[in-house]
Structure 1
């Protein structure tokens, strides 16, 4: 398997997901702006989304994929299929029970995570929490299906799946809002419709590889399976390992809810733009690397293991550094071009620009964590990332005490970004000390060349965007979008031209997995 080609395919699907996601958010901003009701929606969605990331994309995937790869490599299809059946049964019934508890306890849950939300907005938040909590049931199946398909190196369907949620939200924001007495409720219904669509697209793909799970009406049917018990045992500490940023984000939501109406929303808009490079590079690379690293570990091939990490880290620095500088220098043009319509005014542009710039400061760390953490999980080492994550969680909240009084909402974003950088630093140090990762020759020259190219690119982007008043161009959206497109294109051209002049070639980053 050509890893670079596979990465490009996943990134293209992720780009489609992020583009439709930005369109979804742009239409949301146009319709609802940044208010206490948009805060209520974002807060209501945050908890089921947090649980999805913790128990689905996070702890579950990291515990499940290495063991699944081991079964596939060493125990054959029959044993692997039985494991998938038992894991699916346990996961679906557990998330169904969680959904029921969340629906019943929605007022308490909402108060705990956003005590600053009051009045009608709080009541709307309770309704939307109840509407969206079952989303985790859909996503648990989607994440399991994605893990199975990725292990079989079927990457495109899992990467495309989020597009369906975006399309559902776009459809509801354009055509269904008028049918709801409280218009924002339409977006909560869109989340659930999107979740059902995402489940539906997985089923044919799983049938093709003969691994569609068979569920049982007995919730405890799979708990006697040794493989399931191993996964559950590893999931416990893995929750802490992958949840540091998410728990910080939940705490930050509570803090932001006290910083004035619209604060949660502008933080969310900035977060969406930060997730664009994070998804295209960090998530895509982690998706490619985890099955390959798990296979290298199962095969007892430390040289291949280290080589895969070296390849992933070089690509990260090559692409994440210019993305971070691009987000920082073009923060205002990006926010204005994508969201400055309808109810989203110039004041909201200014409010959302600062947290986006703060996120950019930690973007490299956020992406590196998605590369370095799987290096431990693939070896079924959960304890090391757990210890680091707990320390980072504490450090992030200590930084909030310093940054929030000075920077407001931007301080929350800066704390998360710098916390991720600390996390990545400790993960990298752990890999080096244990000789799990041994850097290949040429890193210093590689890094210096990238820094030179990034500096020139950043200068072009900063100078170009400073020539225009982006909020004033609201009346000319096509002109504004065209100007932003030209600046991004020129900056990218400068970056890659400098790299070519310094000797970089695409073939240097080609790699095949064994």
Structure 2
């Protein structure tokens, strides 16, 4: 427990700064381009490179490459160095080709993820995609470097590098807004030079992020030397394992394709309640997950992979159990507080520049729905790492099929039944239900694989955490009601709600949980007290 806690705390510090600066980046960008036609065009163009990366490489890195590198480090006479060189060579070549081809196919890619756009909005999105799509190569090379760093238990650089990317993008968005002001959100008047500033600035941030990771890899002794002897690269083994990963990611992208098209369609019927609202709310939903859960997941996978390689299933069970407890102890109150304070968060962040309070409140309503899914989504991601530690990428595919079936069905029902303004909230609810079901199924299958995951003990622990968190949520709700009665909902009152309701609510939760002797809270309190006492 203490080892995972220390490693996670180190990563969480970098991740927190990364997510907070990303939070600022999102707010500044929304203020500059709004959430109407231009905002939707940018968000679709910006999302496509990540879709392509995840579809073609991202899932392989997280589920296949790290365990395989660790096995090669233990079995190869050179400690896996040649294998890493071949992997980096293959990655550079493949990612360059993917980036070039994606730029050439920018127009059909934009058409795939948009519904009902007029020609001008489509043209703006395509032009932005031309500038943004090349970042696939830099993002991918940085991700490979980060994966190799993780196998050496070097987690700091991958967590801190995105901070520089966010800083670059914040500067770009500020320059854009200062240059154009309120006209910056008008898709009909924005010029090619303005779009170049947005697009190339976005790519520049990823280039800086990649450079940081490559330098960090060099500092731990990795020296890149192109190797083209791919017969010894273990591609057959990787291919057999990765084919299921590609299937898993492909299934996930079908779900994303459905969601994006339904959200853009809803935005055409109810301006301001479309894809940008969904995308920004989802980014805020990812903030607590990224700070807390990603750090634990990143530390877990190499250790569980070593446990599997050594035939020590007890180690796998203990690493997983520690991870679930550490993740849940902070995400349980975070999810409840998001459900209460979602609009306060989005009004404080988004009611500036080319945004309105009404649009920000709507995003907050979407965020409240996402808050329901914070804990099951995070536990689902932890469960996937159990399968990946065994080199099993097939089982997650069938779980993903179930997720997509649930999500797509509920999303289509929401689109055709709900008023246009509530469709995106319905999409967020479909996402939540899908991950509740997916986590339950994944838990049953993973428990069979490792001989039990202590479900009753985890359920008892979660129940105690929710009991400790309910007074905090009630306190936040009282602060919300009093503040809104006194001054309404604006940026200043939202700041008060978050500081008093969110900040003091979390303190109240920690105090109650510590009093209830929830061990993970006691470990966190003890670690913080030890640091303060030094």
SS at match of 1:498: helix
Unaligned regions of 5+ residues in structure 1, if any?
A: none
Spell out the pairing of 1:298-337 with structure 2 (5 A cutoff): 298-337=309-348
- The residue aligned with 1:29 is 30
- The residue aligned with 1:424 is 439
Q: CA deviation at 1:185?
A: 4.1
- The residue aligned with 1:438 is 453
- Could you tell me how far apart the structure 2 residues matched to 1:172 and 1:473 are? 29
- Could you tell me how far apart the structure 2 residues matched to 1:246 and 1:457 are? 37
Taking a change above 3 Å as real, the CA distance of residues 509 and 423 of structure 1, as seen in their structure-2 partners, is: farther
- Could you tell me how far apart the structure 2 residues matched to 1:323 and 1:233 are? 39
Matched, 1:410 2:420: no
Matched, 1:55 2:56: yes
- The residue aligned with 1:255 is 262
- The residue aligned with 1:237 is 244
Q: CA deviation at 1:189?
A: 1.4
- Could you tell me how far apart the structure 2 residues matched to 1:381 and 1:223 are? 24
- The residue aligned with 1:143 is 143
Q: CA deviation at 1:2?
A: 2.0
Contact between 1:56 and 1:144, CA under 8 Å: does it hold in 2? no
SS at match of 2:31: helix
Q: CA deviation at 1:170?
A: 0.5
Aligned length: 503
- The residue aligned with 2:132 is 132
Spell out the pairing of 1:168-207 with structure 2 (5 A cutoff): 168-176=168-176, 178=179, 181-182=191-192, 183-207=194-218
Q: CA deviation at 1:242?
A: 4.4
- Could you tell me how far apart the structure 2 residues matched to 1:445 and 1:424 are? 17
Q: CA deviation at 1:277?
A: 1.1
- Could you tell me how far apart the structure 2 residues matched to 1:482 and 1:494 are? 17
Q: TM-score, normalised by structure 1?
A: 0.92
Taking a change above 3 Å as real, the CA distance of residues 479 and 273 of structure 1, as seen in their structure-2 partners, is: same
Contact between 2:325 and 2:520, CA under 8 Å: does it hold in 1? no
- Could you tell me how far apart the structure 1 residues matched to 2:364 and 2:521 are? 37
- Residue by residue over 1:313-339, the C-alpha shift from the partner in whole angstroms, topping out at 9 and shown as x without a partner, is 112221221111111110110010111
Taking a change above 3 Å as real, the CA distance of residues 246 and 447 of structure 1, as seen in their structure-2 partners, is: same
Q: TM-score, normalised by structure 2?
A: 0.89
- The residue aligned with 1:290 is 301
- The residue aligned with 1:491 is 505
Contact between 1:340 and 1:346, CA under 8 Å: does it hold in 2? yes
SS at match of 2:15: helix
Unaligned regions of 5+ residues in structure 2, if any?
A: 181-189, 525-534
Structure 2 residue corresponding to 1:380, chosen from 391, 394, 419: 391
- The residue aligned with 2:102 is 102
Q: CA deviation at 1:374?
A: 0.8
Taking a change above 3 Å as real, the CA distance of residues 185 and 39 of structure 1, as seen in their structure-2 partners, is: farther
Taking a change above 3 Å as real, the CA distance of residues 370 and 88 of structure 1, as seen in their structure-2 partners, is: same
- Could you tell me how far apart the structure 2 residues matched to 1:201 and 1:431 are? 36
